Amino acid sequence: MTRRDYEYIVLGLGGLGSAAAYWLSREAGADVLGLEQFELGHVRGESQDHSRIIRLSYHTPGYVELAKQAYAAWHDLEKESGEQVILETGGLDLGPRASAIPLETYSDSMAASGVAFEHLDAAEIMHRWPQFRLTDDIHGLYQERGGIAMAARANAAHQRMAREHGASLRDRTPVAGIRAAGGEIDVEAGGVSYRCRRLAIAAGPWSNAALAHVGLELPLEVTQEQVTYFASPRRRDFLPDRFPVWIWMDDPCYYGFPVFGEDGPKAAQDAGGKPVTAETRTFEPDPDNSRRVRDFLARYLPGAVGPEIYTKTCLYTLTPDRNFVIDAVPEMDGAFVAIGAGHAFKFASLIGKTLAQLARDGRAEADISPFGIARPILTQKDPARSYMV
Ligand SMILES: Cc1cc2nc3c(=O)[nH]c(=O)nc-3n(C[C@H](O)[C@H](O)[C@H](O)COP(=O)(O)OP(=O)(O)OC[C@H]3O[C@@H](n4cnc5c(N)ncnc54)[C@H](O)[C@@H]3O)c2cc1C
């Protein structure tokens, strides 16, 4: 007989929800149910590729502190699962001295948080990584702990460990209803009515559909993004022991990875995609976006460019200020929500841990005060949006 009553239910088993299921299961074991509408590891959401950038370099001291805690959460998972999910290759933020994303906010934030970094001019960058072709007006910040969060592997590790702790994870089980039930919560999924005391919602691009069940709508914008793996003619120059993750800090903003998971480096434009919904999105790459990335590489990282191995599309769920949502759901006692704003993978294990703490204790160790669901910009119907941070 299907068990219907749980202490905790997690809605959505992408990057954040798998982490929440894992962290909840460490204490609550079999009292945790995770519900995923598609198969585990599906590619329709935000979290499924070989690599995501992880870095301490961020634009506010608050994010830097959060990033420190994120590394610690990932290391707990690595220790418990026996599986490596973080690869520190070093991280380089670079761009023109007069740019849309000033490097000073990053260096000031790291300095305020006691994180070591180096400020490099163009000549020094090219000396260390001759793969770059830069002019004198370019400068950069190097932080040695920057690197790769192994997304697909990390999701699978969270899921596997959650199950080992006794959690039930049900795939192909869409949640179709959420209702308050006298201090508890009824969750309708796959034709079954489940009951729980606490619900963690981590629905990614489907967040507004999930929140609609509790009468909430946030001014989120979902965009169709893409990343490209290139068969570089100089593949060896882009191996992780000699090439860092990098971010071009200007508008447009580009970023890239050493060879990892496929047989060539990966590069992309950040927030370069068009608005879609999880239903209207296609899996077709946007040729204009592809051309911009290729032109950028031809100019600044010429050895990276080669035939496309493939381009993979993916969704961002963007808040107008690009800050996360991590909070209690005001309309429903016992429900909590996390939304990643297109840069959350590096924090996924920590956000899952935070959701677990909120669900269990009603408060979290991490400072999530900037991520409130009722912050003014999220109460506006059509707020100004700025994604370059
Ligand atoms: C191209 C790209 C590059 C990125 N690069 C980086 C990076 O370098 N560094 C970084 O930190 N972040 C990066 N991000 C952002 C990061 O990947 C996301 O913020 C993060 O993965 C969001 O995870 P999520 O769990 O919120 O969403 P998802 O992974 O989409 O998970 C949501 C899950 O909920 C399920 N679901 C939704 N509704 C229901 C329902 N009703 N019933 C059951 N299940 C439901 C969905 O099927 C899905 O599996 C990138 C994202 C993209 C797309």
Cis amide leading into 252 (omega within 30) = yes
* Predicted pLDDT at 382: 92
Return the ligand 1 atom nearest residue 346 CA: 11
Q: What is the pLDDT of residues 339-352, one digit of tens each?
A: 999 999 999 999 99
Q: What is the pLDDT of residues 3-48, one digit of tens each?
A: 999 999 999 999 999 999 999 999 999 999 999 999 999 999 999 9
* Predicted pLDDT at 375: 97
Nearest CA to ligand 1 atom 35: 12
Structure tokens at 94: 């670079």
Give the pocket of ligand 1 (CB within 6 Å).
11-17, 35-38, 45-47, 52-53, 174-175, 202-206, 210, 225, 227, 268, 314-316, 340, 342-346
Sequence letter at residue 119: H
Q: What is the pLDDT of residues 153-176, one digit of tens each?
A: 999 999 999 999 999 999 999 999
Asked if the model's pLDDT at residue 131 lies above 90, the reply is yes
For residue 220, the tally of other CB atoms under 10 A from its CB is 18
- If pLDDT is split at 50, 70 and 90, which confidence band does 1 have? confident
Sequence letter at residue 241: D
Distance of CA 137 to CAs 95, 99, 131, 133, Å? 8, 10, 17, 12
Determine the angle formed by the axes of helices 15-28 and 348-361, rounding to 10 degrees: 50
Mapped onto helix, strand or coil, the DSSP state of residue 361 is helix
Measure the CA dihedral 279/22/193/182, to 10°. Answer: -110
CB within 8 Å of 146: residues ≥ 6 apart: 53, 54, 55, 56, 57, 88, 89, 90, 91, 92, 244, 245
8 A C-beta contact, residue 197 and residue 182: no
| Dist CA 251 CA 249 (whole Å) | 7
Query: What's phi and psi for 355, nearest 5 deg?
Result: -60, -40
The alpha carbon of 170 and the centre of ligand 1 are apart by a number of angstroms equal to: 18
Beta strands in 236-324 (DSSP E): 245-248, 253-257, 266-270, 274-276, 308-318
8 A C-beta contact, residue 317 and residue 224: no
Q: Checking DSSP bridges between strand 5-11 and strand 32-35, what pairing results, if any?
A: parallel
| Dist CA 89 CA 148 (whole Å) | 7
pTM: 0.98
| Dist CA 152 CA 148 (whole Å) | 12
Structure tokens at 191: 């034709």
Asked if the model's pLDDT at residue 389 lies above 90, the reply is no
Return the ligand 1 atom nearest residue 340 CA: 19
Mapped onto helix, strand or coil, the DSSP state of residue 44 is coil
The alpha carbon of 310 and the centre of ligand 1 are apart by a number of angstroms equal to: 20
Across the range 192-207, mean pLDDT stands at 98
Nearest CA to ligand 1 atom 27: 204
- If pLDDT is split at 50, 70 and 90, which confidence band does 388 have? confident
| Dist CA 369 CA 389 (whole Å) | 18
* Predicted pLDDT at 237: 98
The alpha carbon of 15 and the centre of ligand 1 are apart by a number of angstroms equal to: 6
The alpha carbon of 255 and the centre of ligand 1 are apart by a number of angstroms equal to: 18
* Predicted pLDDT at 2: 85
Nearest CA to ligand 1 atom 29: 14
The alpha carbon of 13 and the centre of ligand 1 are apart by a number of angstroms equal to: 9
Structure tokens at 103: 């490097």
Across the range 251-270, mean pLDDT stands at 98
The alpha carbon of 116 and the centre of ligand 1 are apart by a number of angstroms equal to: 30
- If pLDDT is split at 50, 70 and 90, which confidence band does 308 have? very high
Return the ligand 1 atom nearest residue 344 CA: 19
List the end-to-end C-alpha distance of the chain, in Å, as a whole number. Answer: 50
Nearest CA to ligand 1 atom 3: 52
The alpha carbon of 341 and the centre of ligand 1 are apart by a number of angstroms equal to: 9
Query: What's phi and psi for 328, nearest 5 deg?
Result: -75, 150
Report the chain's mean pLDDT, rounded to a whole number: 97
Asked if the model's pLDDT at residue 87 lies above 90, the reply is yes
